[in-house]
Structure 1
Amino acid sequence: MSSTNCEKPPVDVTVASEPEPELHTIFDRTQKKLVAFVVTIVASSSTLQSNIYFPAIPTIAEDLNVSVELVNLTVTAYLIFQGLAPSLWGPISDARGRRTAYFGTLIVLLGACIGLAQTQNYTTLIILRCLQSAGSASTSAIGSGVIGDITTRADRGGYMGFFLGVKLISIAIGPIIGGALAGSLGWRSIFWFLTAYNAFLLVLVVFLVPETLRSVIGNGARAPSQRMARFPLTLYQRYTTVKWDADKVPQQNPAPKRIDVLAPLQILTSKMAAPIIIFYSIYFTVWQMCVTSMSALFTARYGLTVTQTGLTFIALGMGSIIGTLITGKIMNRDYRRLQEKYENDASDGRIFPLERARLSPVPVYVSVQCLSILLFGWTVQYPNQVHIAVPIVATFFGGWSTVSVHSNITTYLVDIFHDRSAATAASLNLARCCLAAAGTSAILPMVHGVGAGGAFTICIAVQLVSMIGLGVQWRYGGVWRSMKESECYD
């Protein structure tokens, strides 16, 4: 990032300058939990829209008179737009406010689902799936921005862990719902269900999510002037002693005058983020290849029905829940432990070791994921010799490790670019989804060519090489942050 675009360093660059919680936001703990819960439920819509679709693919292919391979291309298209769309909505969220971006994305999503429920041909299906992805994918980036707004580094780990973990639970729930609806009411009922669900989410946002963008409302004490940024404050303030007081508003950087759609790309190519994003994109792609192939492999190797295949995702969801409950607490504990260790030495000018606080457990999680995917691949290759429970258990540990790595890395990046938190999440989403789109289209041909065990062994080998990026970030991340701080003061 050039020094000409350098903004005032965030107040939480070092431990000594971390703001007190009551100064950082006027929202009390109950209010923060409510906001975090709502934006998490909204963000889970993104993975739900994607995974609820998987069990219905054979039925859709038969009804529209196309091949399963063609319907699988709609999954690839969905992932591509899932990566691209937040690059627009994330900057809008950082410039115009979280509520404005939420309204836009959810209205687009509603329209796409209504259209999908009435689809009569393949061309309409693939176009509307792209539009559906464009509407749903950005809810995660916007939610990350909200969490970044209302938390400090000291408590951000717990909130971000909950947000990212619960969001991934729909990976397990989606196929179950989709299989049940497609098997009983037809595949179009899936999209009518999503229409009703997304309408409910829009109502939640309208009535329960305040504007949190700090350049608009400060720490929450400044009433927003924009009509789209307002919400029924009485529903939120009736049972609390917290009151609006403009005198409590700390000085904030002004909101950007224009929407910088290149911000996610700038973050993606920044040396402060590129190594860790490259590592995580490959990590996520390998896991997405495993999840995408589950339905086909379990159906072909173990002869499961659509409903039974959906039930196999429960273990993955339980692993995600465990990761949600544990990872956030670990992040908060690690941060506070290092904070206590370094706060007395803040006067010597050393920058806070954020890499140690956020990235220390990542190699452990990666090791667990590598072993779980290898176990999954080699066991499904020999279904006559290995009971189906073994690969299902492997997905439990895969889900746990995946949500843990996702939580740590996303929180780390939001800590670095907290003034552009939605754009930061969008940059991570752009890299991982575009790479995952290529990976998911390649995994089944790989399985047919070298077997499931061989295919996933190759994937793990690539993932281990990608850990070089993690090592580079660990070694030089603090140096780069210190250099950027110096540039800002020059």
Structure 2
Amino acid sequence: MAVENEEDGTRAVPDATEPYSIFDKRQKALIVFLAANAATFSGFASNIYFPALATIARDLDVSIGLINLTVTSYLIFQGIAPSIWGPLSDAKGRRVAYICTFLVFLGACIGLAETRNYATLIVLRSLQSSGSASTIAVGSAVIGDITTREERGGFMGIFQAGLLAPVAIGPVIGGALSASLGWRAIFWFLAIYSGAFLVLLIISLPETLRSTVGNGGVRPSSPIAKYPLNFYQKYTKVKFNAQTQPVQASGKAKIDIAGPIRILFSKQAVSLVLFLGIYYAVWQMSITAMAVLFEERYGLSEAHVGFTFIANGAGSITGTLVTGKILDADYKRVKAKYEAAISQSGSETGSEQVSKAQDDDVNFPLEKARLRLLPILALLQCASIITFGWTIQYRVHIAVPIITTFITGWTVISIVSVVTTYLIDIFPEHKAASSASVNLARCLLAAGGTSIVTPIIGAVDVGWAFTITVAAQLVALLGVGIQWRFGGKWRMAADEARRQARKEKT
């Protein structure tokens, strides 16, 4: 891969025999740890807030419906913001994107801790979302930078597990802080946490953008791309590529703001992303309604409501870890069959046969390797959601709806992990933008869902409200069938079009 040097306009061409990534196990562990922890801020800022909704409504003298709109606004900007920060990270680097987003988040948290009216609350929640949401898209891109397809599923599982920890513990912390120190303490906690982590990130995270540092072996020239722990690499197996061949660059990297939109509406992605968005929206509707429903129908306090979210978070973390391992196992199984079929064809020499089975082979049946789990996960989520609604309506023992949230968390985050990994595979040059397209769809649909969940429950009660959402989920499942049937053909056609475009330029 050619790597552009921003100082002299040349590109450094690494040796073709170099590995995909030269970061050793310890550095990969550090990078995944930092990316996963950075992504926790999106979940913390969202979930830590739920137990305090009723208290904030009373304190600011507004209705629960208006406070729910702050959740809606958060989700809207959670979807839109990565469409800006993602392309920025694809063009200018992961470190610069991280630093900018955390500065925005930190400022918003300080403002929220001092807010005194509803208008300020909703504006700053939107700004807070703009800063935190992109950590997921950028983190997914970082994982894509340092991993091959064969190992990506497992690493994405670890990454998703890290970012989902706040789903389990965020509401507990939020409920405890709100009940003891007041709801503003929630935002002071986030401000202190984000400020400390930003310092750690600046010190410890190397630049991974492959158009800048290749497989990690090209020393970055930009001051922002450099990081103080470069000396660590002297004591590991990581070696910088000192013998690069400068060639004339074709141009500076551009920030493609429209990239996530193009990916979202491309044939290769739209049916699958729409499917994911609807399932994610229903999940958000259930956990948004959960805090108020448990308080009203089961008489729980704020602190106790916070504890009810633990099952949802535990399911999310467990599910993504298990699903990541299954993704890697599925990929290896399908790849082994694919390589065996090529070797049996007898049409090429041994070296040519093996080369055809490499990770970047467009003919590889990627859909079979990645999407097999989706129908199972989808049906399990449908069952858990409908059980959640009807058990609350009839006030079945609270343990039952809480258990359903474990299943819902498991399935929906596994779906997100599968789809995100698949899109990074098929859009390798736009990793952050592909992840941003997922964020855009799921968050905008979730914003719409959370804005109408309370009126729907008021009109038809909890059971029928979530029965309606399950009906929408079953229709959305058709998107997986469409992708399974036509995704490979569309992917190969898009790859051929890119190759023709490159030939025309040369």
TM-score (norm 1): 0.92
Residue 344 (structure 2) pairs with residue 334 (structure 1) = no
Residue of 182, 195, 199 corresponding to 2:191: 195
Measured against aligned partners, the alpha-carbon deviations of 1:184-213 in whole angstroms (never above 9, x if no partner) come to 011111111000110122022111111000
CA distance in 2, matches of 1:252, 1:295: 58
Q: Once the 2 structures are TM-superposed, how far is the Cα of residue 115 of structure 1 from its aligned partner?
A: 0.8
CA distance in 1, matches of 2:17, 2:415: 26
Residue 428 (structure 2) pairs with residue 428 (structure 1) = no
CA distance in 2, matches of 1:408, 1:140: 15
CA distance in 1, matches of 2:377, 2:247: 39
Partner of 1:3: none
- Distance 1:249-1:444 versus aligned 2 partners, 3 A rule: farther
CA distance in 2, matches of 1:331, 1:210: 27
CA distance in 2, matches of 1:176, 1:256: 47
Measured against aligned partners, the alpha-carbon deviations of 1:355-404 in whole angstroms (never above 9, x if no partner) come to 11110011111111111111111100111xx2110111111111111121
**What letter corresponds to residue 361 of structure 1 in structure 2?**
L
Residue 352 (structure 2) pairs with residue 352 (structure 1) = no
Q: Once the 2 structures are TM-superposed, how far is the Cα of residue 318 of structure 1 from its aligned partner?
A: 1.4
Partner of 1:102: 98
Once structures 1 and 2 are overlaid, which stretch shifts more, 247-256 or 20-29? 247-256
After TM superposition, the structure 1 = structure 2 runs for residues 125-274 of structure 1, keeping only pairs within 5 Å, are 125-234=121-230, 236-247=232-243, 257-274=253-270
Query: Structure 2 unaligned runs (5+)?
Result: 3-14, 343-352, 501-506
Residue 101 (structure 2) pairs with residue 89 (structure 1) = no
RMSD: 2.2
Partner of 1:12: none
Q: Once the 2 structures are TM-superposed, how far is the Cα of residue 66 of structure 1 from its aligned partner?
A: 2.3
Is the contact made by 1:216 and 1:255 (CA closer than 8 Å) also made in structure 2? Answer: no
Partner of 2:503: none
Partner of 2:8: none
Measured against aligned partners, the alpha-carbon deviations of 1:18-72 in whole angstroms (never above 9, x if no partner) come to x999611110122112101111011011011011111112222222222222222
Residue 52 (structure 2) pairs with residue 42 (structure 1) = no
Residue 49 (structure 2) pairs with residue 53 (structure 1) = yes
CA distance in 1, matches of 2:387, 2:249: 50
**What letter corresponds to residue 372 of structure 1 in structure 2?**
S
CA distance in 2, matches of 1:30, 1:55: 38
Residue of 109, 112, 137 corresponding to 2:108: 112
Measured against aligned partners, the alpha-carbon deviations of 1:237-287 in whole angstroms (never above 9, x if no partner) come to 254122212348999997853211111101111111111011111111111
Is the contact made by 2:24 and 2:237 (CA closer than 8 Å) also made in structure 1? Answer: no
- Distance 1:253-1:360 versus aligned 2 partners, 3 A rule: farther
Partner of 2:471: 461
Q: Once the 2 structures are TM-superposed, how far is the Cα of residue 152 of structure 1 from its aligned partner?
A: 0.5
Partner of 2:307: 311
SS in 1 for 2:394: coil
CA distance in 1, matches of 2:58, 2:339: 64
- Distance 1:414-1:304 versus aligned 2 partners, 3 A rule: same
Is the contact made by 2:282 and 2:469 (CA closer than 8 Å) also made in structure 1? Answer: yes
- Distance 1:387-1:23 versus aligned 2 partners, 3 A rule: same
Q: Once the 2 structures are TM-superposed, how far is the Cα of residue 344 of structure 1 from its aligned partner?
A: 3.6
SS in 1 for 2:187: helix
CA distance in 2, matches of 1:389, 1:236: 49
After TM superposition, the structure 1 = structure 2 runs for residues 375-386 of structure 1, keeping only pairs within 5 Å, are 375-383=387-395, 386=396
- Distance 1:399-1:249 versus aligned 2 partners, 3 A rule: farther
Residue of 290, 295, 299 corresponding to 1:294: 290
The total of aligned residue pairs comes to 472
Is the contact made by 1:219 and 1:250 (CA closer than 8 Å) also made in structure 2? Answer: no
CA distance in 1, matches of 2:162, 2:324: 12
Residue 453 (structure 2) pairs with residue 452 (structure 1) = no
CA distance in 2, matches of 1:199, 1:441: 31
Partner of 1:373: 385
Once structures 1 and 2 are overlaid, which stretch shifts more, 480-489 or 361-370? 480-489
CA distance in 1, matches of 2:144, 2:468: 37
**What letter corresponds to residue 28 of structure 2 in structure 1?**
K
Once structures 1 and 2 are overlaid, which stretch shifts more, 260-269 or 200-209? 200-209
Residue of 123, 140, 151 corresponding to 2:119: 123
SS in 2 for 1:201: helix
CA distance in 1, matches of 2:491, 2:246: 24
CA distance in 2, matches of 1:50, 1:322: 20
Partner of 1:391: 401
Once structures 1 and 2 are overlaid, which stretch shifts more, 340-349 or 195-204? 340-349
TM-score (norm 2): 0.89
Q: Once the 2 structures are TM-superposed, how far is the Cα of residue 106 of structure 1 from its aligned partner?
A: 0.2
Is the contact made by 2:362 and 2:495 (CA closer than 8 Å) also made in structure 1? Answer: no
**What letter corresponds to residue 448 of structure 1 in structure 2?**
G
Is the contact made by 1:144 and 1:160 (CA closer than 8 Å) also made in structure 2? Answer: yes
CA distance in 2, matches of 1:324, 1:249: 42
- Distance 1:251-1:401 versus aligned 2 partners, 3 A rule: farther
Is the contact made by 1:215 and 1:254 (CA closer than 8 Å) also made in structure 2? Answer: no
Measured against aligned partners, the alpha-carbon deviations of 1:170-194 in whole angstroms (never above 9, x if no partner) come to 1221111111001101111111100
- Distance 1:453-1:237 versus aligned 2 partners, 3 A rule: same
Residue 75 (structure 2) pairs with residue 63 (structure 1) = no
Residue 492 (structure 2) pairs with residue 485 (structure 1) = no
**What letter corresponds to residue 414 of structure 2 in structure 1?**
S
- Distance 1:329-1:150 versus aligned 2 partners, 3 A rule: same
**What letter corresponds to residue 229 of structure 1 in structure 2?**
A
Once structures 1 and 2 are overlaid, which stretch shifts more, 314-323 or 352-361? 314-323
- Distance 1:441-1:380 versus aligned 2 partners, 3 A rule: same
Measured against aligned partners, the alpha-carbon deviations of 1:410-466 in whole angstroms (never above 9, x if no partner) come to 000000111111011111101110111010111121112112111111101111101
Q: Once the 2 structures are TM-superposed, how far is the Cα of residue 487 of structure 1 from its aligned partner?
A: 2.1
Residue of 444, 447, 451 corresponding to 1:437: 447
- Distance 1:355-1:255 versus aligned 2 partners, 3 A rule: farther
Partner of 2:11: none
> What percent identity do the matched residue pairs reach?
55
Query: Structure 1 unaligned runs (5+)?
Result: 1-6, 9-18
**What letter corresponds to residue 453 of structure 1 in structure 2?**
G
SS in 1 for 2:203: helix
SS in 2 for 1:258: coil
